[in-house]
Amino acid sequence: MTEGRINILANFTPAFWSVIAMVVWKMAGFFMVILMSGLQSIPADYQEAARIDGAKWLQRFRYITMPLIRKPFALALILCISGSMLAFDQFYIILNGGPQNKTVTAVYKIFNESFISFRLGYGAALSMVLLLILLALSVVQLTLLSDRREK
């Protein structure tokens, strides 16, 4: 009795989630460093004063920690979303667009149009559209995460 090999990269769902898990594992440390530096920049006096005043941990997190790490959080969020929109190497190396071209990302499409099909103008146009989308997403994120009291 021989056991057949199971290729998890042959079906879309396990292939997609395995690459996503790899990317998250790769980038989690970087985002943790950004958020940890933000957490360490909060003076301990604020937390201690809130604790003395009777604030619970959720209140301290909501009213002290989150407002004070707003900028590092915004940076991490913008880098995370723009990085996920620009994903290319993991999908190209591991999946090569497969299975059945279901894991083709925007940058992978630009690469195929520009360097495989030699449609450089179309690839450049797609790059500009992706740039505008990323710019719009970043502006929306910065607007939503900005502190209105600083203005």
* One CATH from 1.10.3720.10, 3.30.360.10, 1.10.40.30, 1.10.1060.10 for 11-150: 1.10.3720.10
Share of the chain above pLDDT 70, in %: 96
Please state the rounded mean pLDDT for residues 32-51.
95
60-93 pLDDT tens trace:
999 999 999 999 999 999 999 888 888 888 888 8
With beta carbons less than 8 A apart as the criterion, state whether 97 and 103 touch: yes
> What is the pTM (predicted TM-score) of this model?
0.78
Integer-rounded Cα radius of gyration of the chain: 22
Fill in the DSSP letter of residue 3.
P
Q: What is the model's pLDDT at position 65?
A: 95
With beta carbons less than 8 A apart as the criterion, state whether 108 and 92 touch: yes
Q: Is the dihedral of CA 38, 80, 70, 64 positive or negative?
A: negative
The contacts of residue 70 (CB under 8 Å, 6+ apart) are: 145, 147
Q: What is the model's pLDDT at position 9?
A: 81
Nearest Cα neighbor of 109 from 94, 124, 15 is 124
Nearest Cα neighbor of 70 from 29, 27, 38 is 38
With beta carbons less than 8 A apart as the criterion, state whether 83 and 27 touch: yes
Share of the chain above pLDDT 90, in %: 56
Structure-token pair, residue 147:
């502190």
Fill in the DSSP letter of residue 42.
S
Residue 3: CB atoms within 10 Å: 5
* Residue type, position 67, single letter: P
User: What is the residue-averaged pLDDT of the chain?
Assistant: 89
93-121 pLDDT tens trace:
888 877 888 888 899 999 999 999 999 99
Residue 32's pLDDT band (boundaries 50, 70, 90)? very high
Q: Which residue has the higher pLDDT, 16 or 56?
A: 56
